[in-house]
Structure 1
Amino acid sequence: MRPVRGAVTVAQVAAAAVVVARLARGRRRLPALLPRPAAGEPVSVVIPARNEEARIGPCLRAALAAPAVREVIVVDDGSGDGTARLAASLGAVVVTADPLPPGWVGKQWALRQGVAAARSDVVVTLDADVRPEPGLFGALAATLDRYDLVSAGPRFVCDGPLEQALHASMLATLVYRFGPVGPPSPPPPHRALANGQCMAFRRARMTETDGFALVRDRMTDDVALARCLAGRGWSVGFLDAGGLLEVDMHDSAGELWREWGRSLPLADVTGPGWQAADLAVVWLTAALPVLRLAAGRPTGLDLALLGLRVSLTAALRGSYRRPGAGLLLSPLLDPAAAFRLTQATVRPVRRWRGRTYGQVTGGGRTYGEVSGGGRTYGEVSGGGRPARPARSGAR
């Protein structure tokens, strides 16, 4: 047993050094985006939507009222509810997505069509559940003088302390693996991160590259796109926009466990070696100290790591609209977050919004080759697409 304990201690020391180095980047991270009501160029906003009638209204109203926004395009991806009707009634341009081709995930297919319909060269894509402030769009447009692709980190809205505790624990696994939002220098392409809830780029270059086709089969589409384009020489930024963007991702802790836990490992964009290393870091530095503390046998290193984790909760306060008891209690759920991360790594889920997609192999291959090799990764079952609603305002 002693050799095993010694090996675990050595591994924990190494993992702790990695985490400390990553967290230290926060001292030099890039400043958060500041509001810019107007942009030098008009902005087209593209929102892919599938059965979002209950959530899309606030996002649409905010985007349509922003001074920098020229148009808001909603790509209705086979919704069976009133998404298209609501979007059109509020003044958005509604594009009805064509039937999903083999080898495509629905979001990428919808985004590609929305970008094709845009009239402005500056395009901002949003998920239906985000709540943008008016100054967000001008701020994002300004960043395109420095970046070819930029995504924004939001402030999160959580419903109750349990959801906030679980969310903060899962968020901590990302920080331990990749460091804080707004890294002072770009990471290597294979470790780049992005947030697909809010992205900005120039339409002409994205169209020329056909970026969404390059990652057509990825469930973790945002990170896949960032890594693919960074590998092709694009300057990719991930900036803090917590003062300008909010998102209410899930309705309960159970939904958070299922849905965010599904994508949290980035399994289809990360090679096996990095997956194993990431899991080791999370288990050794976040989960193990809590488990040993619960057993009444923490080591000195465990206590130091617990202190580090508590300090991270303070740093994460700005990531939540109403930080509360859930955030303070989140370290206690780190073993659960580590378990969910492991579960989704070992058994990746490829089901989303009523569609189940074929398994993809080769998560670690170069992203210039992501959809090549003569293979097709098609939709296995579409669950029956509703009849296509009439096109409203499409071009």
Structure 2
Amino acid sequence: MAFAASPPCIAPSPRRAARAGYRSRLIIAWAIAIAALAFPAAGLLAYAGILAYRHARTMRLVPTARSGLALADADPPDAPVCIVVPAHNEERVVAGLIESLRAQDHPRLSVVLSLDRCTDGTRAAALDAIAGDPRFHLHEIDRCPDDWAGKVHAIWSAVERAPAARDADFLLFADADTVFSPRCVSACVAMMAHRGLDLLSLLSTLTTDRWFERCIQPVAGLELVYQFPLTRSNAPNAVRPFANGQFMLFRAQAYRRVGGHAAVRGELLEDLALARLVAERGLAPGVALADGVLRCRMYPDWPAFRRGWKRIYTESAKRRSSRLRRSAWRVRALGAILPACTLALIAVSAAALVARPGGLDLGAPRLGAALGVAALAAWWWALARIYASCASPRWAVFAAPWAFWSVGSILADAARDLRRGVPTQWGGRTYARADRA
């Protein structure tokens, strides 16, 4: 029987084999990249959900100072209130504060400006703005003891020596760079009585007309609120008491019961220290959102912004460089690295869908692209709500990865300065701080 000859086996050309091998490796690389990048994208989606939930819960549960307006209308407060304002070289802003305080509608108000070692025109600017108003008093300080922080000593000295402070039922400590709406004091005293608080602190509405205030400031504040959740600060027997030194309204009796500013004489973040003392003594601290009733420009320029937040973060971390380093990595990872990986997932998935290489299941890149877009959209939506509540423009959320990286850098620099023993410059004084590791 004759058998037909089988056709000759033709080996693939080396070029065709190389292309096939390259295509196979590319398909594997695409699949691995999509699978690997899906994890940080899922993490970003989860982080966006947590941000949105916490922000919504905070806005729902934490009262605003505007809620005190109706309370003041129903039962106008008339207890004597003394406002104490420490001022070190505040020529630039003190007139704006004084004008807003002169416009207050509270009937029994006095103001003590504690001029702390001023070397500029603060005194002259204050006198011009006061214009003979008898409710205002100047208290001048020419030196600060070595074991006191300058601001703390300025407040304590005014409280101890000014008759208006000694006779008041309520003591309000405010920064010189704040501006009060006309009914701020009355609303806050009424709210304090309604809530049965011994200390009420406002989170002021911050100015947003400078680039770092629009882009970086919301993230800087977000990190502080992450460390001190406002809902927990307002809970009974608060385990994370919080206060903002820009506005701290005390019942005078409660203030003296905790020892006043003398009890926190060496603290560079005296507001948190006083809030802890109030909670430890079984008294009732509380926080409210200003919602425009109190406004503040924290820092005039970017270098001052960085210095100020380094001090805040260092003290809020209880001078522990290890805690600052962990916070720096967390902020960068959540706000910069996860979004970058998510963008990479979208790019890799889109490239795979465009190329459509044979042998690659297109379900994976479709799912990767959908996950990436959903994660970024949810993250930016959550941040847009946070930025809007800070009165920042919503377009600034598109600079959020850079903002998170910048805040992480501030935290990392604070840790490095603490490890190296770099002193803190604040209020015309230098403070050496030891790293508590």
Instruction: Give TM-score scaled by structure 2 length.
Output: 0.71
Counterparts of 2:112 and 2:89 in 1: how far apart (Å)? 16
- More deviation, 36-45/292-301: 292-301
Q: Following TM superposition, by how much is the alpha carbon of 1:296 offset from its aligned partner in structure 2, in angstroms? A: 5.8
Counterparts of 2:387 and 2:79 in 1: how far apart (Å)? 33
Matched ranges for 1:220-299 at <5 A: 220-267=269-316, 269=318, 275=324, 278-279=327-328, 281-293=330-342
Q: Which residue of 1 is the match for residue 408 of structure 2?
A: 338
Counterparts of 1:362 and 1:250 in 2: how far apart (Å)? 28
User: Over alpha carbons, which structure has the higher Rg?
Assistant: 2
Q: Following TM superposition, by how much is the alpha carbon of 1:288 offset from its aligned partner in structure 2, in angstroms? A: 2.2
Matched ranges for 1:1-395 at <5 A: 16=47, 22-23=54-55, 25-26=57-58, 28-34=60-66, 35=69, 36=72, 38-68=76-106, 69-89=108-128, 90=130, 91=133, 92-97=136-141, 99-116=143-160, 117=162, 118=165, 119-145=167-193, 146-179=196-229, 185=235, 188-189=238-239, 191-267=240-316, 269=318, 275=324, 278-279=327-328, 281-293=330-342, 304=375, 307-320=378-391, 323=393, 325-326=395-396, 329-348=399-418, 350-360=424-434, 362=436
Q: Is the 8 A contact 2:88 2:428 kept in 1?
A: no
- Structure 2, unaligned stretches of length 5 or more? 1-31, 348-367
Give me the CA root mean square deviation. 3.5
Counterparts of 1:181 and 1:86 in 2: how far apart (Å)? 40
Q: Following TM superposition, by how much is the alpha carbon of 1:24 offset from its aligned partner in structure 2, in angstroms? A: 5.5
Q: Following TM superposition, by how much is the alpha carbon of 1:334 offset from its aligned partner in structure 2, in angstroms? A: 1.1
Counterparts of 1:236 and 1:59 in 2: how far apart (Å)? 25
Q: Is the 8 A contact 1:45 1:72 kept in 2?
A: yes
Counterparts of 2:170 and 2:237 in 1: how far apart (Å)? 25
Q: Following TM superposition, by how much is the alpha carbon of 1:106 offset from its aligned partner in structure 2, in angstroms? A: 0.5
Counterparts of 2:280 and 2:337 in 1: how far apart (Å)? 35
Amino acid at match of 1:143: M
Counterparts of 2:388 and 2:230 in 1: how far apart (Å)? 13
- More deviation, 162-171/325-334: 325-334
Amino acid at match of 2:253: A
Q: Figure out how many residues of one structure are paired with residues of the other and give that number.
A: 357
Instruction: Give TM-score scaled by structure 1 length.
Output: 0.77
Q: Is the partner of 1:224 in helix, strand or coil?
A: helix
Counterparts of 1:278 and 1:19 in 2: how far apart (Å)? 17
Q: Is the partner of 2:216 in helix, strand or coil?
A: helix
Q: Following TM superposition, by how much is the alpha carbon of 1:104 offset from its aligned partner in structure 2, in angstroms? A: 0.7
Q: Following TM superposition, by how much is the alpha carbon of 1:172 offset from its aligned partner in structure 2, in angstroms? A: 2.4
- More deviation, 296-305/44-53: 296-305
Counterparts of 1:234 and 1:287 in 2: how far apart (Å)? 40
- 1:223-280 CA distances to partner (integer Å, 9 max, x unpaired)? 1221232222221111111220111122233432332343235346366776566445
Q: Is the 8 A contact 2:327 2:408 kept in 1?
A: no
Counterparts of 1:20 and 1:162 in 2: how far apart (Å)? 23
Cα distance change on mapping 1:355 and 1:270 into 2, 3 Å: closer
- More deviation, 176-185/115-124: 176-185
- 1:268-321 CA distances to partner (integer Å, 9 max, x unpaired)? 63667765664454233223223434656798589637723541332331322x
Counterparts of 1:280 and 1:186 in 2: how far apart (Å)? 32
Amino acid at match of 2:137: V
Counterparts of 2:178 and 2:232 in 1: how far apart (Å)? 20
Cα distance change on mapping 1:20 and 1:242 into 2, 3 Å: closer
Counterparts of 2:84 and 2:424 in 1: how far apart (Å)? 24
Q: Following TM superposition, by how much is the alpha carbon of 1:192 offset from its aligned partner in structure 2, in angstroms? A: 2.4
Q: Following TM superposition, by how much is the alpha carbon of 1:60 offset from its aligned partner in structure 2, in angstroms? A: 0.9
Q: Is the 8 A contact 2:100 2:182 kept in 1?
A: yes
Counterparts of 2:123 and 2:154 in 1: how far apart (Å)? 14
Amino acid at match of 1:99: R
Cα distance change on mapping 1:204 and 1:315 into 2, 3 Å: same
Q: Following TM superposition, by how much is the alpha carbon of 1:23 offset from its aligned partner in structure 2, in angstroms? A: 4.0
Amino acid at match of 1:313: A
Cα distance change on mapping 1:306 and 1:182 into 2, 3 Å: farther
Q: Is the partner of 1:151 in helix, strand or coil?
A: strand
By percentage of residues, which structure has more helix? 2
Counterparts of 1:295 and 1:257 in 2: how far apart (Å)? 31
